Structure 1
Amino acid sequence: MFLTLLAGAVFATALGVVYTQHQARKSFVELQALQGVRDELNVEWGRLQLEQSTWATHGRIEVMARDKLDMMIPPPAAVVLVKP
């Protein structure tokens, strides 16, 4: 009787170990996939930051203001300094 219970406990423990190993492998595969997605998103973030810095340069803004909005830098005589 005792040996039967012991064999059953050993078998149940073995099944638990197999199940735990399987879950660990599944979790590792999911982790690898998520790390790949993270890396892709980091690359895209870097590209977007570079694009934003390109669009926001002072020279580009000045050219756009001059060409599309017909803005210009006022001559020094037209500048009025206001003191508080």
Structure 2
Amino acid sequence: MKSESVEQKKPQHLGRKKLLVYTILTTLVLISAFMVVYQVYLYRHDFREFNTHMRDREDINAEWGRLLIEQQTFGATAQIGTRAVTQLRMYSPPTAQTVVISLPTEPEQKK
């Protein structure tokens, strides 16, 4: 009779150990699955943020190019004025030599 009770305790004890091991393993698998999902979420969030920064960078580079063109345009205007004075001997006439022509106003035209 003693041997039967020892044999019955062994399978029950082994069954509890197996259940505990399976429960722990299942919990670890679920935790691992949730961590994978969370890592994918973080990756996508970071990738969206990266793309936003890259678009901002492209916009800034385009604006920088426009500013360089504008700077060259204003620099060219100064060069044209300097060359006109030095090479072509052009100058602005003094006020005494300036003639202002004005158009007649509307009531005078009717007369």
* Fold in common (TM above 0.5): yes
* Change in CA separation of 1:39 and 1:16 when aligned onto 2, cut-off 3 Å: same
How far has the Cα of 1:4 moved from its partner?
1.0
1:26 to 31, 38, 41: 38
Which structure has more relative contact order (CA 8 Å, sep 6+)? It is 1
Note the residue ranges of structure 2 that are not aligned, 5 or more in a row: 1-12, 88-111
Q: 1:48 aligns with which of 51, 60, 66?
A: 60
Matches within 5 A, 1:1-80: 1-57=13-69, 60-65=70-75, 71-72=78-79, 73-74=82-83, 75=86
Residues 32 and 62 of structure 1: CA distance in aligned 2, closer, same or farther (over 3 Å)? closer
Give how far 1:66 is off.
Answer: 6.2
Task: Give the counterpart letter for 1:49 in structure 2.
Answer: N
**1:34 corresponds to which letter in structure 2?**
D
Q: Structure 1 unaligned runs (5+)?
A: 77-84
Q: TM-score if structure 2 supplies the norm length?
A: 0.56
Larger Rg: 2
